[in-house]
Amino acid sequence: MFRLLRQIAAPPQTPDHLDVVHEGVNYRVLLKRVPTARRFTLRVRNATRDVVVTLPKRSSLAAAKDFAQRHSAWIAARMNRVPRAAPFVDGATLPFKGEDFTIAHIERLRGGVEIYATEKIVRVSCSQDHLSRRLHDFLKKEAQAALEDAVRLHCGTLGFAPRRVTVRDTTSRWGSCSASGALSFSWRLIMAPPFVLDYLAAHEVAHLVHMNHSDEFWAVAKKLAPMTDRAEAWLHAHGLSLHRYGATD
């Protein structure tokens, strides 16, 4: 005797994006279904240069499409205000430790990255295909070293042992301190002035004392980094622009 097994179709997967059009221009909108969401929400992320619509658990894709399309003019206006990408290419400007340098590419199979501070030139010797990756790797290495030095200094001031430092390409925060005391930072801080990088290192080290933003925390942070207010102002005015370097539209 044979038993017939009925195949049950799997529920359709939510696609990762949809497209909306405004005045002939197509905009890709990423979809994010959140079980706790109670309504559609729409946001433009400047750091990642994209648009995201949040969907409630049981909402339909058709409703999400209609919601995004009705707000297409808003999407277009916000995307037009996102800083333009500045890829790492020959002749482009690259901020390094708060100063503008010019990328000078030399076509070679092997080579490296050299900084000419007087001429304000960053010379990159590599094949054309590897230019962007070579610069990314160089900047991450420089950020790692600078942040390790700053963290070691501030930990020493507070009487702590040096902490392990990790650098990533974060988009929502410049630094973080975990409950276990692990410190993580954005490698893009190496493009900012040194007092800004030092402030972020001090900020996260201060969290080793106070895991909050209380008055006590700020007293420690400002003791470690007297230029805290100036650094905060610089990040507010220029921080967003750091995300455009090395990016592509």
Q: Which residue shows structure tokens 């925060």?
A: 173
Per-residue pLDDT tens for 172-194? Answer: 899 999 999 999 999 999 999 99
Per-residue pLDDT tens for 211-247? Answer: 999 999 999 999 999 999 999 999 999 998 999 999 8
Least confident range of 7-11, 34-38, 65-69, 107-111: 7-11
pTM of this structure: 0.80
CA quadruple 204, 210, 211, 215: dihedral positive or negative?
negative
Write phi, then psi, for 173 (nearest 5 degrees): -150, 155
Q: Pairing relation of β-strands 25-33 and 50-55?
A: parallel
| Per-residue pLDDT at 82 | 84
| Per-residue pLDDT at 249 | 66
Distance CA 241, CA 247 (A): 11
Phi-psi sector, 11: left (phi>0), alpha (psi -120 to 50), beta: beta
Say whether pLDDT at 95 is over 80.
yes
| Per-residue pLDDT at 8 | 45
Cβ neighbours for 219, distance < 8 A, ≥ 6 positions apart: none
For the chain, the domains span 17-80, 93-244
Cα 8 to chain centroid distance, Å, stands at 42
CB atoms closer than 10 angstroms to residue 173: 11
Per-residue pLDDT tens for 52-72? Answer: 999 998 889 899 999 999 999
Cα 61 to chain centroid distance, Å, stands at 29
Q: Which residue shows structure tokens 């990314």?
A: 136
User: Would you call 148 helix, strand, or coil by DSSP?
Assistant: helix
| Per-residue pLDDT at 13 | 65
Per-residue pLDDT tens for 132-148? Answer: 999 999 999 999 999 99
| Per-residue pLDDT at 225 | 97
Residue 106 and residue 79 in contact, taking contact as beta carbons nearer than 8 Å: no
Amino acid at 94: L
Range 93-244 classified under CATH 3.30.2010.10:
yes
